[in-house]
Every structure is written in C-alpha cells, then in structure tokens.
Amino acid sequence: MTIQQIKYFLELSKELHFWKTAEKVYLSQSSLSRQIQSLEDELNIKLFDRDKRNVKLTNAGKFLQAQLTTKMRELDQIISHAKKIDSGNIGALSITYPGSIIYDYLPQFIEKVNHKLPELKVELAEPMDENHERLLLDYKTDLAFSRDKINNANIEFKKLYSEPICLVVPKGHRLCNDVINGLENEKFIISGLHLSTFFSSILREWFSKHSLDPKIAIESDYGGMILSLVSKGLGITVLPNSFQSAQIENVHFIELEETIDLFINWRKNELNKVVEKVVAIAEDIGSTIH
C-alpha cells in the first residue's frame, strides 16, 4: 500500500465515479481501476461495490475513508513541518544553560532567536549537575551553554566570550574601597565547594590562591538568591560579573583578576539545520559582550 494509492482511494470515495476521478488524478480510467483493485487485494478488503453504472463505498470502505482522511491530513501537516525543519526555519530546539547567564546573555540571545526564527519553539532547562556533555550525547538537549568547553570527539564547541569574576559585597561594606584583605573574617554565601560543577572548581582554586579557608554561612546554587542575601548584609560572595545585570539593590561588585568563559556546545554532524543558525546567533550576541 502506497501513499499514492491511498490518495486515489480517497479521491474516488468522494467522487464515486471512476472517469471523473481518473481525470482529477491524471490517470487513465483503467490505470485507476488497477490501482484500486491492487489496494483491495493487498488489504483483503472490499472497498467499493461497483457495476457498470454505479460505484458505492462498502461499510468497510466508509470506515477506512473516515480514518484515512484524518490520517492523511495529519501526514500532510507532518511532512510540511518536516520540510520547514529541513529548511532550518522551524522546529523545536532544547537548550541547557548555567544560571549565571539568565540576567544578561540569555535574554538577549532568546530575543534574537525569536526575531530571526519566529516559528522555532525553544525549550530551556538549567541542569543542576551541569552535565551538559551527557545531555547532548543522550539527545536530551540540542545546544548547551557551559562555563567550560566540552572535550569530546562527538561534540563541537565555540567560545562566546570571557568576563571577570567578582567579589560581591553589600554597599557600604568595608571592602567597597576595592582593597581586598581580611577575607578570613568574612562570612561567605556561595555554591557548595564540594560540588563537581565548573564554577565550584573555580571557587576552590580562588580560595586556595588566597590561602583562605572560607567561613561559609550559607550555601546555595542559585545566584539570584545569593545576591539577595548579600544585599541583606548576611555575607559576601564570588560570582561572574554578568550577575550585575540582575540589578539587585545594595550590592557592590569588585572585579577580580580571574575570568570565566562561556561556551556553546552541540553534537557533531547534527542533522537539524536550525542548530547551525542558532549557533551563529549565539556567536553574534557573544561578540557584543566585553
């Protein structure tokens, strides 16, 4: 059974006239008759009662007509959707990201994607374990923003930009004069140093560099929450500079010498053509961030 045979059947079921149907589908009457007979033989179902003067659908034919009309309409929509995906203009794209880009880079990126590819459905997720590599390889995400590049032979990556890491303190704090000393006496609100995330490893290196065993008052993986707690004077923290875009009142950012990068990662030999377009948009936005 072919799609073309189904189309012939549906057209004949509407016209109930071989000659008129043959004209519509650009076949000879004898060729159309053979196609319908072949379909009936394959299905082992009598679809039409016919004689020299009349053509009528059997009850089985009526049932098949109703079901296949709906299914063919759905199939046409699916094929149309697939063609748009093939052209790279529509579809669904899943993207994972670190929480540190939600206030600055990510909104700009999504805004431009929506403008350039208005029919594209974007699915966003912030994985807490930041295992972007596994998510990509398991086809659970299509694009992954990450603070470290993914070194895997099956994954492509591009660096988008670098930014400073900052010490963040409440306004009026003694460290606001940008002279960083006496940190051993400060209470820190930070992501857990025991975690395996890339940023936790950066924090461990920074504390080690300054020979600090930090007094951790509060642990949190949510940068926005950490900023709010710092603004209440409950401690200080270390965060990427992009968190300044959160515009939390009563906090002061002090740039450190350390920097952190943002990468975009995707599977090699990706069949979804829209990925290439979205990566280009990501690079374009990244080039505007200094």
Q: Are 18 and 97 in a shared domain?
A: no
Residue 75: which domain range?
A: 3-86
The pTM score is: 0.71
- Which of 58, 86, 114 is at the close of a domain? 86
CATH for 237: 3.40.190.10
Predicted confidence (pLDDT) per residue in 238-288, tens digit = 999 999 999 899 999 999 989 999 999 999 988 788 899 999 999 999 998
- Which of 86, 105, 130 is at the close of a domain? 86
Q: Are 212 and 234 in a shared domain?
A: yes
Q: Are 143 and 176 in a shared domain?
A: no
Q: Are 145 and 267 in a shared domain?
A: yes
Q: Are 156 and 166 in a shared domain?
A: no
**Total domain count for the chain?**
3
What is the distance between the alpha carbons of residues 282 and 202, in angstroms, rounded to a whole number? 24
Predicted confidence (pLDDT) per residue in 4-28, tens digit = 989 988 998 898 888 888 888 898 9
CATH for 40: 1.10.10.10
Q: Are 155 and 282 in a shared domain?
A: yes
